[in-house]
Amino acid sequence: MYTYFILIILLSLILYFNIKIYNFDLLSPSFLYTTAMILSSTLAFIGLFLWNDVSYLSIKTILICILSVVSFNAGEYIIRKICNNQKKSKKKKIEYIDADISWWKIIIQFVFVTVVFCLIYSEVYRIATVVGYKGEGISTMIKYYRNTSILFSTKYIKAGININIIVSQLQKIVEVICFVNIYLIVAVIFNKDTIKNRKVSLYALIVAVSILSSLLTGGRMRLVVYAVFTAAIILFKLNQKYSYVDMIKKYKKEIVIIIIVMVTSFYCALPLLGRKTDTNIIEYTTFYYGAPIPSLEKIINEDDKPAFFGEETFRGIQNVAYKLKISDYIQPISIKWVYFYTKDKDKLSSNIYTSAKRYYHDFGYLGVILLQLINGLVLSLLYVIMKQKKTTVSIIFYSMYVYMAIDQVRDEHFFSNFVHINTIFKLVVLVCLMWLIKLNLKGDKDENKNRKLN
């Protein structure tokens, strides 16, 4: 049990130096990752009294966790040093965007996301039916699809049972539309001149349909991504007026309420996502975010040597190569499972071991150091660009991927999701969508001609 205290203390020291260096920068990637690791370690410790039977963490597990966090922090430190040494440009002031965009632009987005939702639903239904679904309800349908596309992805991808590639790309466009409309909603809230904007309900409707589309295929993680994106946008906007310390003092009650609502909603959404649990909300919440470190301890000493170069780290690239028939090797999303049991003997399954597990499996300790360093360098560069440029595209793009800094406590996202052609595709879609929103045609309100997104 004391080993959890050792890990938490070491992580807390790293966080202390992070705060001293960057002056409590709440959206800093290294701050988010370090804080997330402390939270996960704390929840794992609480889990000792609920579900966690790993009472002792080995030196190897602690070392992997610490090397991962230190290397990631080092990546941001290097980027900050480089950027601070460059000639500083004039400080730009953020102007709140005008979210009162033209009706035709809103209608186009709504029609598009609705059509894509129908296409995704039909694809999920088709795949679920192939593997045994017989019309038992939407939750059961999603469960069949999930078991097909995620848990046993390799088997079914080889059999050609997966979502149509065109529909898959359309869904990515819907995701970007969702992010942009969340941003527009936040803009309405922050711009006092448009606080009563009637169109905000339509933005919310577009977001709702987009999220439902994601939930059909993406599961719980999509909820986390959208929640983190929204929080990042709000924090960035608030930081234009308050320091992060003052912000927490001013809104501490609201923050607590929001966290409680989010956790409760996340738990209650499980049946809709085709998931089922017999555990209560406290057991499930502590397990969901506290399981990675004890799971790492369970699997790290029995880990098999990689059969293919970077088989776990670069699985996203390998899957694309397989689909393009460049390679005949494909790595499943899910690796080995480990099991925990609650005090009431309810079984909990875990296949998440922190991002460092994949790096360590493929390349050892050196892989943990170098790959986390690269991870920290790139995410920190996006963050610095966002802070310096303060453009709508840079703010939205960083916020789209800031979840990677937080959720790598659970699994690897950078090399599997970000280092991917889909990232370029989404960036292009984002730029085009922002151009569409700025576009003025005859029939737009005259005043819209002079309005600009920051």
* Tens of pLDDT, residues 2-35: 999 999 999 999 999 999 999 889 999 999 999 9
Return the structure tokens found at 333: 């999303």
Segment 113-133 mean pLDDT: 87
Tens of pLDDT, residues 388-408: 888 889 999 999 999 999 999
Closest alpha carbon to 220 in 233, 207, 211, 231: 211
Residue 379 has pLDDT above 90, yes or no: yes
Segment 344-372 mean pLDDT: 91
The runs of H, that is alpha helices, within 355-452 are: 355-389, 392-401, 403-407, 421-438
Task: To the nearest 10°, report the CA torsion of 124, 355, 318, 396.
Answer: 60
* Secondary structure letter of residue 442 according to DSSP: B
Q: What is the pLDDT of residue 31?
A: 96
Tens of pLDDT, residues 412-452: 999 988 988 889 999 999 999 988 887 544 434 443 444 44
Residue 152 has pLDDT above 50, yes or no: no
Segment 379-391 mean pLDDT: 91
Task: To the nearest 10°, report the CA torsion of 182, 184, 186, 188.
Answer: -140
Q: Where are the domains of the chain?
A: 1-93+280-413, 95-239+420-454
Closest alpha carbon to 351 in 403, 412, 401, 404: 412
Q: What is the pLDDT of residue 43?
A: 95
281 or 453: whose pLDDT is higher? 281
Query: How high is the mean pLDDT of the chain?
Result: 83
Q: What is the pLDDT of residue 285?
A: 85
Residue 112 has pLDDT above 90, yes or no: yes
Q: What is the pLDDT of residue 78?
A: 96
Residue 334 has pLDDT above 70, yes or no: no
Of the CA atoms within 13 Å of residue 262, those in its CB half-sphere come to 15
Q: What is the pLDDT of residue 44?
A: 96
Residue 86 has pLDDT above 90, yes or no: no
Cα distances (angstroms) measured from residue 427 to each of 28, 289, 306: 21, 29, 33
Mean pLDDT is highest, among 263-267, 327-331, 360-364, for 360-364
Residue 229 has pLDDT above 90, yes or no: yes
Q: What is the pLDDT of residue 18?
A: 95
Pairwise CA distance, residues 37 & 233, whole Å: 22
44 or 164: whose pLDDT is higher? 44
Collect all residues with Cβ–Cβ distance below 8 Å to 257 and sequence separation of at least 6.
none
Pairwise CA distance, residues 297 & 279, whole Å: 23
Q: What is the pLDDT of residue 294?
A: 96
Output the pTM of the full model. 0.87
Q: Is 402 helix (H, G, I), strand (E, B) or coil?
A: coil
Closest alpha carbon to 376 in 351, 359, 389, 391: 359
**Contact in structure between 90 and 32 (CB atoms under 8 Å):** no
Segment 272-284 mean pLDDT: 69
Collect all residues with Cβ–Cβ distance below 8 Å to 202 and sequence separation of at least 6.
106, 110
Pairwise CA distance, residues 192 & 186, whole Å: 11
Of the CA atoms within 13 Å of residue 330, those in its CB half-sphere come to 19
Return the structure tokens found at 258: 């929001």
Q: What is the DSSP secondary-structure string of 336-348?
A: --EEEE-TT--EE
Binned at pLDDT 50, 70 and 90, residue 262 comes out as confident
Q: What is the pLDDT of residue 195?
A: 47
Pairwise CA distance, residues 363 & 313, whole Å: 9
Q: What is the pLDDT of residue 357?
A: 92
Q: What is the pLDDT of residue 326?
A: 72
Round to the nearest angstrom and report the end-to-end CA distance of the chain: 51
Return the structure tokens found at 144: 């069949």
Residue 38 has pLDDT above 90, yes or no: yes
**What are the two backbone dihedrals, phi and then psi, of residue 350, each rounded to the nearest 5 degrees?**
-135, 135
Of the CA atoms within 13 Å of residue 311, those in its CB half-sphere come to 13
**Contact in structure between 329 and 322 (CB atoms under 8 Å):** yes
